[in-house]
Amino acid sequence: MRISARAVCLFSVRFRNHYGIADAEHSHMGDIVDNPLLRERKFVFSSRHDAGRQLGAFLKTLPAIRDPLVLAIPAGGVPVGREVARALGAPLSLAIVRKIRIPGTTESGFGAVTWDGQVLINEDLRDALGLSETDVERAIAETRENVNERLARFTGSTAIPVPAGKTVILTDDGLASGFTMLAAIQSIRRKKPARILAAVPTASAASAGLVSGHVDQLVCLNIRSSRTFAVADAYAEWYDLDDREVLEELAGVP
CA-nearest of 176, 166, 153, 169 to 231 is 176
The CA distance from 191 to 104, in Å, is 35
Query: Quick one: pLDDT at residue 109?
Result: 85
244 CB-near residues (< 8 Å, 6+ apart): none
pTM of the model: 0.87
Query: Quick one: pLDDT at residue 4?
Result: 32
Predicted confidence (pLDDT) per residue in 6-26, tens digit: 223 323 344 444 423 334 334
DSSP 81-107: HHHHHHHHT--EEE--EEEEEPTT-SS
How far is residue 23 from each of residues 4, 107, 187, measured CA to CA in Å? 22, 26, 10
Give the chain's domains with CATH numbers: 2-12+27-97+157-250 (3.40.50.2020)
Query: Quick one: pLDDT at residue 29?
Result: 55
CA-nearest of 195, 48, 39, 18 to 112 is 18
Predicted confidence (pLDDT) per residue in 152-164, tens digit: 999 986 778 889 9
The answer to whether 207 and 176 have CB atoms below 8 angstroms apart is yes
Query: Quick one: pLDDT at residue 12?
Result: 35
Average pLDDT per 10 consecutive residues for the chain, totaling 254 residues: 32 40 45 96 98 98 96 97 97 95 81 94 91 94 95 85 95 94 96 97 96 96 94 96 94 78
